[in-house]
Amino acid sequence: MVAYIVMIYPDTKLEERLWSEGYNLVLGLDEAGRGPLAGPVVAGGVVITKESEIIPTVRDSKKMTEKQRNEAFEKIKESVLAYGVGIVGPAEIDSIGIQEAVLKAMVTVLEVIEAKFNRRIDYIIGDGTNILSIPRYRMDKIKQGDLNHYSIAAGSVLAKVTRDRIMRKYHEKYPKYGFDTHVGYGTKKHIDAIKALGVTEIHRKSFAPINKL
């Protein structure tokens, strides 16, 4: 029996439908870093309006190699009509909670992009049904949105690459924690390092098991 790996690439059918309904500026949003024990949560978002702005290699950032993400990251920024990134650090995550921190990062993306257009975004499509809605905006929260919809997938690449680069910079400051490999997630290597070396300024003190150490 032969097993086949099926590559799923996002399309723009949802964006095209929204355009046809008069929503000209559709913002696709995604985040990276909801679950790690250290580092920021980062949101990324893009607005596209035509086929020439699409990078064929872009898909859910979790399905791409690091090299593919880095290459796509630069091409996305060069090609899309507008893009934005929002970052919320670990101290603020501890203060307001991860759900509100994700929302704040997404709102930052929205504000950055609206400043470029000097007008409101018409519609937002975001990844995941558990994200908070952005008040006073039409918004769809979509399960596996980054897998199926191009704008969200492109946003996921911006978020993931930005966050990974931040964590690799932290590795230079804290080389014994392994941030260059696990980028803050709760791997055995990371938890063992926390137990041996202690908690750093970039750790999320409200997250288990750090809150019990």
pLDDT for 104: 98
Residue with tokens 């199926």: 148
Q: How far apart are CA 12 and CA 151, in angstroms?
A: 8
Look at residue 51 in the predicted model and tell me its pLDDT.
85
- Nearest partner of 128 among 155, 96, 92, 89, judged by Cα: 155
Task: Flag whether 63 is in a domain.
Answer: yes
Q: What backbone torsions phi and psi does residue 84 show, to the nearest 5 degrees?
A: -155, 155
Question: What is the total count of domains within the chain?
Answer: 1
Interval 26-45: pLDDT, tens: 999 999 999 999 999 999 99
* Strand ranges (E), the chain: 26-32, 41-47, 82-88, 123-127, 139-142
Any domain includes 188: no
What tokens does 99 get? 């759900």
Distance (Å, whole) CA 47 – CA 163: 20
180 C-beta neighbours (distance < 10 Å), count: 14
Question: Within a domain: residue 189?
Answer: no
* Buried b or exposed e, range 38-58, using 16+ CB within 10 angstroms: bbbbbbbbbbbeeeebbbeeb
Give a yes or no: residue 62 inside a domain.
Answer: yes
> Does any domain span residue 6?
no
Asked if the structure places residue 64 within a domain, the reply is yes
For residue 209, tell me if it sits in a domain: no
Sign of CA dihedral 141, 184, 173, 95: positive
Which pLDDT score, from 0 to 100, does residue 29 have? Answer: 98
**Is 150 a residue whose pLDDT tops 70?**
yes
The CATH number for 35's domain is 3.30.420.10
pLDDT in tens, 156-213: 999 999 999 999 999 999 999 999 999 999 999 999 999 999 999 999 999 999 998 7
Residue 207 in any domain: the answer is: no
* Contact assessment for residue 139 and residue 125, using Cβ atoms and an 8 Å cutoff: yes
Distances (CA, A) of 120 to 60, 155, 179, 189: 27, 18, 38, 45
pLDDT surpasses 80 at 102: yes
- Do the Cβ atoms of 105 and 88 come closer than 8 Å? yes
Confidence band for 8, pLDDT divided at 50, 70 and 90: confident
**Would the pLDDT of 15 be above 60?**
yes
pLDDT at 4 over 90: no
Q: pLDDT of 67-100, one tens digit each?
A: 999 999 999 999 999 999 999 999 999 999 999 9
Domain that holds residue 116: 13-166
Per the prediction, the chain carries an average pLDDT of 95
Tell me which residue of 154, 8, 126, 145 sits closest to 69, measured CA to CA.
Answer: 154
Candidates 148, 79, 60, 141; CA nearest to 106 is 141
Beta bridge partners of 85: 44
Q: 60: closest CA among 162, 161, 155, 147?
A: 147
Bigger pLDDT: 205 vs 7 = 205
pLDDT tens across 52-62, in order?
A: 899 999 999 99
pTM: 0.95
What pLDDT shows up at residue 6? 58
